[in-house]
Every structure is written in structure tokens, then in C-alpha cells.
Amino acid sequence: MPDRADLTDPSGVSAAPPDAEPEGTAPPRRRRSLRRTLLIYLLAPLGAALAVNTAVTYRTALDSANQAYDRTLQGALLAISERVTVDDGLIRIDLPYSALEMLENDFQDRIYYRVSHPEQGEITGYPDLPEPLPGKRFGISRAISGEASSDEVHNRKPFFYETAYHGEHLRIAAQWRPLFYPGIRGPLLIQIGETQGARNQLARQLLLESLVKEGVLIVFAALLIAFGVLHALGPLRRLRHEVAARDPLDLSPLAADNVPSEVTPLVDAVNAHTARVRQLTDAQRQFIDDAAHQLKTPLAIIKSQADLAQRETDPLRLQRMVGDIGQTATATARLVQQLLTLARSDAAPPASQVLNLTELARQVTFDWLPQALARRIDLGFAGEVPCPVRGDEVLLRELVANLIDNALRYTPAGGVVTVEVSVERKTATNADKAVVLRVDDSGPGIGVDERERVFDRFYRPAGSSAPGNGLGLAIVRAIARRHGGEVGLDDGPEGRGLRVTVHLPAVGGENDAA
């Protein structure tokens, strides 16, 4: 234990300036509606699926339309191919108009054809109709760019491709037809193409039919989802109405029977919170009853003392009576002060100022020196290092004062009382440190079985040696807890008297709520 300091030379470190902690003025956060979130998460993917499906359906519809019209195109190609003759080494074609007629449709699609040979050039048709390019690529891009695979070139099979021609988009059927005549080398290329009005119309019609079916399905699904979400959230709505319709004083638990299992923990947590509020309210009601009762007694005494004084004619006795009234009034004022302190420590906002507890306790001890002298008690203070704590200065002064008051009040004359402030490190690091205030005295102490009960409000062990209200230790505990700390009672040094120890979180420590 550090040496006890000379109290007439208070040279401790002064309290740090208050920490300015501006009130949180963040704008209120936008609340997300569960119903909206669920609907968005369910309906948005449904919409996306519809979009993808529309693209796929259109592609499939186009393929189906192509398949239907390609057959006619291929028929025309074969009809032309059958009309190829060779006369005197010259290739001739007797173009069958029936072949072109079969391609006619309601959409006035235009027909383009071309028959050409590598050696004899254009035989008939539109000479600039783009030829298929031999290539290796596959798929849509190949079909559109007019490339034919080498397989199609060598096996003489009819094939199809799409190409642009004079600003129009053509679908062309083509075939390399081998000619087995002496003197003629290379295959004949036959191409016949048409614009795609009819195909596109058919594809659009197929798409529309499928979209109507899907649309009905989607609307039905969306209605089901919306209904499901509203139905699932029904219990929450009912819960909200139940809570909103409650009497403000009704702190009974909410019924958790009809809520979904996901919400049960929330209802349980709310019920647990309500139970704590109920306990607190009950305790406060009890405290108010006790306080009123405690105040009634001294006020009744003052009244009867005043009644007596009114009837007293002897000036000396009257003076003594008025003195008694003054004393009772002083004691009552102290009781009121204690009740206010308790109410304040219960309701005080979170502690906010950084204070040096060493300096604060030294000053309070100094203030009590006259009482100590009057009672012939050796009151001393020990504590050299500054011990910063975060807290309310008035309440912490009250805490120290109550402990010194008790020590001086219950220690017989000639005794010793020591107030000490120090920092305790539970581990080697600074993170786990606490500020410790100890008040030791050499008085009668408190029996082990009374050490918990003396913290109850208005409780005084039978035969307490000095007058009091039974509130001092209750105030000390309420203030300590308000600051995140705790109070303990032990035997005093060398097993004599009482040691009261208050632990408070040190500023900068693990539990500092800064």
C-alpha cells in the first residue's frame, strides 16, 4: 500500500477536461419493408426468367419457321438441279417456273436464284448473288456469313445460309452439283434464296402464342407469390396490432403461439425485456412506497414537536424544542438528499466526463477532516498515480462521501480510517485494468451474513451504533453500477474493521465505454 499522504497539501493531478461527445445526429435510416423485399426477390427473378425464356422461345420459333420454309426452298433447289443438261459441252438449264412458283407466298417475299460454274461462269440468274464461302466455323454466325463447311462442299449436300443482298436479308439454299460429262470439271453451284417476311411472321406468331401462355402462367404465379407473402406476414401484422392496442401499463408477455418459428426468438426477446422492465417498475414502485413511508415519520415528528412548542411557555424549554425541530429538519433534508441521489443514479445518462479519481477522492477526504477531528479519528489518504475514470463528478463524490461517512460514523473514537485509490492490472497488458477505491476502517465491521443485505435500500442491521437511514451503501452500489463498476465488502486490514472496495473501469481499459 502506498504511504498515506499529507492531506493539507493536495497536489494531485487535476481532472481532465470533459470529453465533448456530440449527440448522434445521423439521419433516420430508411426502413426496408419485409413484404417489399420478399416480393422483389421473388418477382424480379421471375421477370428475368420470362425475359430469357422469351429470347429462347423466339430463337426456337425462328428455327421452326426456317425448318418449315427450308423444305420448300430445298424442293425448288432440287427441281432446278434436275433440269440441268449439257449440250455440246455447254451447261444449260431449262428453268422450271413451277419451282419458283412454289416459293410464292402471301408476304411477297422476293426470290433470287443463280446457277454458276467455275469454268463456264454464270449460267443463269442473279450473277452478284453472294456465294457461300468455304469455311470451318459453325453455328449461327457461319450460317449468316454465308460460309459452308468443307463437308458440305465435298459431299454435295444441299445446305442453307443467310446473307445480305442489296439491303435485304436472304435465306439461301445452295448445292454443289457434280457434273459427269467429259470435258467439264468442277461442280455446278445452284443457289436459290428468298427474303424472310413469311418466316419472320411465322416466328412472331409462334412467339406470341407461347408468350400468351407464359404470360398467363406468370401472372398466376405472381398472384400466388403475392398472396403467399401477404399470408406469411399475416402473423406479424396481427402481432403489431396486438402490441399497438396494448394498455401502456400492460407489461404481460406477448403470446408466441401463433407467430412463425423465425419470429419466436424476437417475441421471446421482447418478453424477456418486458419482464426486466416489469421488475424495474416493481422495484421503483416499492422504492417510492418505502421513501414515502420513511419521509412520513420525520415529518410527523416535526409536526408533533411544533405542536408541543406552540404550547410551551418556558423560554428555555421552548429554545431546546426549536433546536430539536431544527435537528429533525436537518436529518429529513439529508434523507431527501439521499433519495434524490438514488433517483439520479438510477436515471443518470451514461457517464461522459473523464475524471481523475485520485484527485476527486483526495478532495472529498479533505472535506471530511473536521468531522474526523471531532470524532478523534485518524483519517488518511493514499494514492499517488492519477487514476482516470469516465463518470459523473457529483455522483462519484457522493459515492466517496458515503463510504467516508460510514467509516467515521461506525468507527469508535481513536480509530483509523484510510481512503486509497490505485490502478489494478489484471494482466500484463494495459487493456485489462481497473481503478480501485478502498476505504478501510478499524471499527466493528459488518458480519459476513449481513454483507449482502446492507446494500438493500432502507436496511440497517439490528443494533446499528449510530443514526442513519439505511441508504448510504445502496447509493454507493447504484452509483458504482451506473459507472460499470461493483462494490465489495471484506474484513479490514489485519482482520479488523471493514474494507469497502469499489472497482471502476479505467479509461483506456478494455471495458472503457468511451
Ligand X SMILES: Nc1ncnc2c1ncn2[C@@H]1O[C@H](COP(=O)(O)OP(=O)(O)OP(=O)(O)O)[C@@H](O)[C@H]1O
The contact set with ligand X (CB under 6 A) reads 338, 406-407, 410, 441, 443-446, 454, 460-461, 464, 468-474, 498
3-state DSSP assignment of residue 195: strand
Is the distance from CB of 493 to CB of 440 less than 8 angstroms?
A: yes
404 binds, options ligand X, Mg ion, none, Cβ within 5 to 8 A by partner type = none
Q: How far is the CB of 406 from ligand X (least distance, A)?
A: 3
The CA-atom distances, in angstroms, between 509 and each of 216, 418, 506, 512 are 66, 26, 5, 5
> Which C-beta is closer to ligand X: that of 472 or that of 509?
472
Residue 223, H or E segment: helix 197-244
> Which C-beta is closer to Mg ion: that of 468 or that of 493?
468
Q: How far is the CB of 414 from ligand X (least distance, A)?
A: 15
In one-letter notation, the amino acid at residue 41 is Y
Burial classification of residue 65, based on how many CB atoms lie within 10 Å of its CB (0-12 exposed, 13-18 middle, 19 or more buried): buried
435 binds, options Mg ion, ligand X, none, Cβ within 5 to 8 A by partner type = none
Q: How far is the CB of 475 from Mg ion (least distance, A)?
A: 8
> Which C-beta is closer to ligand X: that of 198 or that of 471?
471
421 binds, options Mg ion, ligand X, none, Cβ within 5 to 8 A by partner type = none
471 binds, options Mg ion, ligand X, none, Cβ within 5 to 8 A by partner type = ligand X
Q: How far is the CB of 410 from Mg ion (least distance, A)?
A: 8
> Which C-beta is closer to ligand X: that of 163 or that of 411?
411
What is the distance between the alpha carbons of residues 267 and 416, in angstroms, rounded to a whole number? Answer: 56
Backbone angles phi, psi at 150, to 5 degrees: -60, -25
User: Which 440-479 residues touch Mg ion, going by CB under 5 A?
Assistant: 468, 472
Q: How far is the CB of 340 from ligand X (least distance, A)?
A: 13
> Which C-beta is closer to ligand X: that of 271 or that of 371?
371
As given in the structure block, the three cell numbers for residue 455 are 446494500
460 binds, options Mg ion, ligand X, none, Cβ within 5 to 8 A by partner type = ligand X
Question: Does 411 sit near Mg ion (CB under 5 A)?
Answer: no
444 binds, options Mg ion, ligand X, none, Cβ within 5 to 8 A by partner type = ligand X
As given in the structure block, the three cell numbers for residue 467 are 443514526
407 binds, options Mg ion, ligand X, none, Cβ within 5 to 8 A by partner type = ligand X
Among the residue ranges 60-68, 244-252, 398-406, 475-483, the one whose residues contact Mg ion (CB under 5 A): 398-406
Q: How far is the CB of 514 from ligand X (least distance, A)?
A: 31
Backbone angles phi, psi at 288, to 5 degrees: -65, -40
443 binds, options ligand X, Mg ion, none, Cβ within 5 to 8 A by partner type = ligand X
**CB contact set of 371 (below 8 Å; sequence gap of 6+):** 408
What is the distance between the alpha carbons of residues 300 and 16, in angstroms, rounded to a whole number? Answer: 46
380 binds, options ligand X, Mg ion, none, Cβ within 5 to 8 A by partner type = none
Q: How far is the CB of 438 from Mg ion (least distance, A)?
A: 17
Question: Does 191 sit near Mg ion (CB under 5 A)?
Answer: no
Burial classification of residue 372, based on how many CB atoms lie within 10 Å of its CB (0-12 exposed, 13-18 middle, 19 or more buried): buried
Neighbouring C-beta atoms of residue 27, cutoff 10 Å: 5
- Residue 175's nearest CA partner among 87, 98, 114 is 114
Question: Does 406 sit near Mg ion (CB under 5 A)?
Answer: yes
> Which C-beta is closer to ligand X: that of 338 or that of 358?
338
DSSP-derived pairing of the beta strands 433-441 and 416-425: antiparallel
**CB contact set of 222 (below 8 Å; sequence gap of 6+):** 43, 46
As given in the structure block, the three cell numbers for residue 154 are 465435298
> Which C-beta is closer to ligand X: that of 125 or that of 298?
298
Q: How far is the CB of 419 from ligand X (least distance, A)?
A: 12
Is the distance from CB of 80 to CB of 96 less than 8 angstroms?
A: yes
> Which C-beta is closer to ligand X: that of 421 or that of 498?
498
Q: How far is the CB of 396 from Mg ion (least distance, A)?
A: 17
What is the distance between the alpha carbons of residues 94 and 314, in angstroms, rounded to a whole number? Answer: 157
Neighbouring C-beta atoms of residue 196, cutoff 10 Å: 21
> Which C-beta is closer to ligand X: that of 109 or that of 420?
420
Backbone angles phi, psi at 269, to 5 degrees: -65, -40
> Which C-beta is closer to Mg ion: that of 129 or that of 396?
396
CA–centroid distance for 377 within its chain: 58
194 binds, options Mg ion, ligand X, none, Cβ within 5 to 8 A by partner type = none
In one-letter notation, the amino acid at residue 219 is V
Q: How far is the CB of 467 from ligand X (least distance, A)?
A: 7
Q: How far is the CB of 507 from ligand X (least distance, A)?
A: 28
As given in the structure block, the three cell numbers for residue 249 are 401499463
Residue-by-residue DSSP string for 151-178: HHHHHT--EEEEEEETTEEEEEEEEEE-
> Which C-beta is closer to Mg ion: that of 103 or that of 401?
401
345 binds, options ligand X, Mg ion, none, Cβ within 5 to 8 A by partner type = none
Contact footprint for Mg ion (CB under 5 A):
406, 468, 472
